[in-house]
Amino acid sequence: MHTLWLVIQREFVSNVLTSRFMIGFVVCVLSTAVAVFVQVDDYEKRLAGYNTAVREAEIEAQEWDLYVNIKPKAHRKPNPLSIFNVGSENDGANTVTVELGKPVFELPFPIWEAPTQKRGSDNPFLAMFLTVDVVFIFKIVLSALAILFAYNTISGEREDGTLKLVLSNSIPRDTVVLGKYLGGMLSLFPIVLVSLIVALLIAVSSPVTDFDGNAVAHIVLIFGVSLLYVSTWYLLGLVLSVWTKEAATTLILSMFIWVILTSVHSNVVTFAVDKFSPRQSEPNFQVLQPAFEVWDQFKNERDAYIKQRGYEDLQGSISWEPGTNSTGMGTSSMSGGYFIIERYRVTNIDKADTTIFQEILGYQEQLRVEYADKTEEILNKPAEEQERNAKFADALSRISFADVYHFAAGAMAGTDRQRYNDFIESARAYKREIVEYLKDKEAFSSRAWFSTDKGTAELEDLPVFQHRRLSLSESFSDASVDILILLAWNIVLIMTAYVSFLRYDMS
């Protein structure tokens, strides 16, 4: 035990005293500070945009006096942890407008009156610069540092001739490997810790961030995974250091692997899957075609129902008091092909009996909601295809543990693509909630659906979209696969280092 401690201590001291430690420390802390500074600013902007959007939606909601007019919105709340890992926080829609007769879906190209909207970014040209956040810096800089600390552990000592001296003592080889690993990690630990503390301090000093216990727990978890990631790189360096005879070769080889794993592999994979997706969906408006047919069916079914009730058309179901000089019904219809929303205006409504008309509307509008759901299924397909492609690319990227770390951090920060899909899914759930709410109120067949003459729509207790953050255990289980992969790499590498060093030929 004592010897192990000696090896650790010696390794730690020899690392900390080098210039690469100081430089690595300064580079890592400085770049983390700048990255957090930039990301806090970006988060503030996103939050301001979100607050404006929510406020505007509230004002808009006050103007709804008819049930047919309601258009509640689901806003994606900016995630405070995006300061540490931007992930897909800036991608995709951030507002979903829930309209009863409209499906909720996303398409890769803009369409008229799309239900999912993205609030514009202040300067889209800035996307030319890579997004740099804490996780990115850890992924690139810390891993490089880990290699720079590990490359000469064995091969360097061998070149210096000190390895023989060490082993001539009564120290078992496994103690040497373990000591070197722990010593190296001990010298990397303060760099990770200080960087993260600096990041936290800058993030907390901004007036808009309020990290609750849950968020802090997530950050601690990200810290833990970052250590695991750094340890993977350190072990890789150690293994290569055992396998090669010269320190320079170790460094060249490990830096080459570093370049491949951190920047070549995942980019080639994502890029290739993106451009040669095995399942390619129609990139143009043709995907909308089947949706148009659904709405033709809707019209047929609706007309059939009106006929079955014994009326020629909708207007026929309204009866006016005798002697009303101008009778009639106006329909204003809005259609983007993938939806049809109709509003009705009855002339001289105070003299009209609309009981049956309301009954038919009650049937028709619920039917419209059902058809909107059918369209949703069809229009969701391109997004599903895209998601499958992306998943495929992710799976291939996981070969590199740099990307495994990236995914794990994203899952824990709640900024990965899965969370975004959850947002769209919860917007759909919100729509169902609204539909249920209106059904309970019998709003579909009420007079306030189309006219305000006998009271306006009562929407005081209309459900509001609730944003849910994941609890620690939920995010942990999301990230568990990736964490396990990292852990597995660690175990495999430490075993390899151990076995290789046992068989190490000292001559």
- What DSSP character marks residue 323? T
Spatial distance between the Cα atoms of 261 and 255, rounded to a whole number of angstroms: 10
Q: Between residues 1 and 128, which has the closer beta carbon with respect to other proteins?
A: 128
Number of shown-chain residues binding other proteins (CB under 8 A): 66
For residue 18, what are the CA distances in angstroms to 13, 26, 385? 9, 13, 51
Least Cβ distance, residue 350 to other proteins (angstroms): 23
Spatial distance between the Cα atoms of 251 and 237, rounded to a whole number of angstroms: 8
Q: Partners of 329 in the beta sheet?
A: 346
Residue among 167, 260, 288, 472 that touches other proteins (CB under 8 A):
260
Q: What is the CA radius of gyration of the chain?
A: 31
Q: Between residues 14 and 249, which has the closer beta carbon with respect to other proteins?
A: 249
**The residue type at 210:** D
120 is an interface residue for other proteins by CB under 8 A = yes
Q: Between residues 206 and 214, which has the closer beta carbon with respect to other proteins?
A: 206
Site pattern 199..238 for other proteins (x: CB under 8 A): ----------------------------------------
336 is an interface residue for other proteins by CB under 8 A = no
Planar angle of CA 288, 290, 293, nearest 5 degrees: 115
- Within 8 A by CB and 6+ apart from 137, the residues are 28, 31, 32, 35, 195
Residue among 9, 263, 319, 366 that touches other proteins (CB under 8 A):
263
| Interacting residues with other proteins between 9 and 38 (CB under 8 A) | 19-20, 23-24, 27, 31, 34-35, 37-38
Residue among 172, 190, 224, 283 that touches other proteins (CB under 8 A):
283
92 is an interface residue for other proteins by CB under 8 A = yes
Phi-psi region of 144 (alpha: psi -120 to 50; beta: other; left: phi over 0): alpha
Least Cβ distance, residue 401 to other proteins (angstroms): 18
Q: Between residues 125 and 503, which has the closer beta carbon with respect to other proteins?
A: 125
Q: Between residues 130 and 506, which has the closer beta carbon with respect to other proteins?
A: 130
Q: Which stretch binds other proteins (CB under 8 A): 90-98, 185-193, 205-213, 475-483?
A: 90-98
Residue among 192, 253, 287, 412 that touches other proteins (CB under 8 A):
253
498 alpha carbon, distance to own chain's centre:
39
Residue among 4, 47, 140, 356 that touches other proteins (CB under 8 A):
140
Residue among 59, 62, 112, 123 that touches other proteins (CB under 8 A):
123
Least Cβ distance, residue 259 to other proteins (angstroms): 6
CB of 196 closer than 8 Å to CB of 204: no
Nearest to 332 by CA among 347, 342, 322: 342
DSSP string covering 133-172: -HHHHIIIIIHHHHHHHHTTTTHHHHHHTHHHHHHHSS--
- Within 8 A by CB and 6+ apart from 101, the residues are 339, 340, 341, 365, 368, 369, 371, 372
Q: Between residues 13 and 259, which has the closer beta carbon with respect to other proteins?
A: 259
* Angle of the 401-413 helix axis to the 265-275 helix axis, nearest 10: 70
Spatial distance between the Cα atoms of 180 and 186, rounded to a whole number of angstroms: 10
20 alpha carbon, distance to own chain's centre:
36
Q: Between residues 178 and 390, which has the closer beta carbon with respect to other proteins?
A: 390
91 is an interface residue for other proteins by CB under 8 A = yes
Structure tokens at 332: 């204003």
Q: Which stretch binds other proteins (CB under 8 A): 5-13, 171-179, 268-276, 433-441?
A: 268-276
Residue among 14, 69, 117, 131 that touches other proteins (CB under 8 A):
131
Q: Between residues 41 and 321, which has the closer beta carbon with respect to other proteins?
A: 41
Structure tokens at 481: 């696969």
Interface ranges with other proteins (CB under 8 A): 19-20, 23-24, 27, 31, 34-35, 37-38, 41, 45, 48-49, 52, 88, 90-92, 108, 110, 119-132, 137, 140-141, 144, 148, 152, 156, 247-249, 251-253, 255-256, 259-260, 263-264, 266-268, 270-272, 274-276, 280, 283, 390
